[in-house]
Amino acid sequence: MDLVEIAPQADPPVCKIIDFGKYQYEQQKKEKIQKKKQHVTVLKEIRLHPNTDTHDFDFKVRHAENFLGDGNKVKVSVIFKGRELAYTDLGRELLEKFVERLTDVSTVEGEIKFEGRAMHAILAPTKTRKKK
């Protein structure tokens, strides 16, 4: 048995006579359980091009809905190659359409940004459904 200081910030400090090895083991178990219950948000990326067809667009929207339903954030990128850079307005329209389709399950973090050869928007889930 050991004399262990349980709450040093209390006035007077709280001490107990306990088995220190068992105490450490229980603390590790509590930390492990708390870590297990923690949810880590993951950023998933969906890449599009300005000339993405409607079926492919719908397919990507469904994937984004699944990602958002699982509680992950989604980064939607429109990538421009070569002469596509002249048509950034088509990319912006595509991104705005994508965001509009997902307004019921997500919110936009920040605004649409143009960086290098890509235009980005980050979507965060509004509500999470529980995994089965």
**pTM (2 d.p.):** 0.67
Diameter of the chain measured on Cα atoms: 76
**Amino acid at the residue 108:** V
For residue 76, the model assigns a pLDDT of 95
Pairing, β 106-115 against β 118-125: antiparallel
**pLDDT digit string, tens, across residues 8-46:** 898 999 999 999 899 899 999 999 998 888 877 789 999
| Domains annotated on the chain, with CATH | 2-37 (no CATH), 43-125 (3.30.110.10)
**pLDDT digit string, tens, across residues 71-107:** 899 999 999 999 988 988 999 999 999 999 999 999 9
